[in-house]
Amino acid sequence: QKEVEQDPGPLSVPEGAIVSLNCTYSNSAFQYFMWYRQYSRKGPELLMYTYSSGNKEDGRFTAQVDKSSKYISLFIRDSQPSDSATYLCAMSASSAGGTSYGKLTFGQGTILTVHP
Amino acid sequence: DSGVTQTPKHLITATGQRVTLRCSPRSGDLSVYWYQQSLDQGLQFLIQYYNGEERAKGNILERFSAQQFPDLHSELNLSSLELGDSALYFCASSVSQKNTEAFFGQGTRLTVV
């Protein structure tokens, strides 16, 4: 079983829809949670970063972390065709000294298409 | 553009050969990370360097090695290449050792034939 599970989709939605992307994980040591967006033939781009449980909002994007359920979500409001990309969740455990370094564990990525 | 530069963008080589991938981090960044992305394994962490020293190691094969030079650029060396090594190799960099602040380059697509 993989440490991080992510539904690969593909997910196809109409423009303006609310998109929900999710990941589950098994490693209870994970404390840092990230969402990346990757366009075709490009490198991953950091969208959101959350430490421990709770919600974080940035424009049309909201990240939620529920550590009790080992479940994280990314919501995209008013989705646009330019949001069409692969979305990757990533996680990291705290290291000695309380920071996070080294390995990020990624989900497989969800392919999202927003059609006009 | 993230500011992380990787060369070459594409590389085609034969099995058994050795290649070197190069990464120039963003100006001021001290940490460099290497990742491998394949269809079946997804993004896998290989190794992290911080200011010239190895900081963390992932599932990097013994045939692979990396280093970070005094000018902070990094190279990933892949030897005795196999068909299964065909993948996208990404470099990322961050100012500190924190992997939560890393910016990724555009990647090098390696094809082993």
**pLDDT confidence band for B18 (50 / 70 / 90):** very high
| Chain A residues touching B98 at Cβ < 8 A | 99-101
For residue A100, pLDDT over 90 is answered with no
Cβ-defined contact of A42 to B106 (cutoff 8 Å): yes
Closest residue by Cα to residue A43 from B60, B37, B100: B37
Q: Give the pLDDT score at A82.
A: 96
> A97 pLDDT exceeds 80?
no
User: Mind listing the pLDDT tens digit for each residue in B28-83?
Assistant: 999 999 999 998 888 999 999 999 999 999 989 999 999 999 999 999 999 999 99
* Nearest alpha carbon to residue B104 among A12, A96, A15, A43: A43
Percent of chain B with pLDDT over 90: 86
- CA gap A21, B82 in Å, rounded: 35
Contact at CB, A92 and B45, closer than 8 angstroms: no
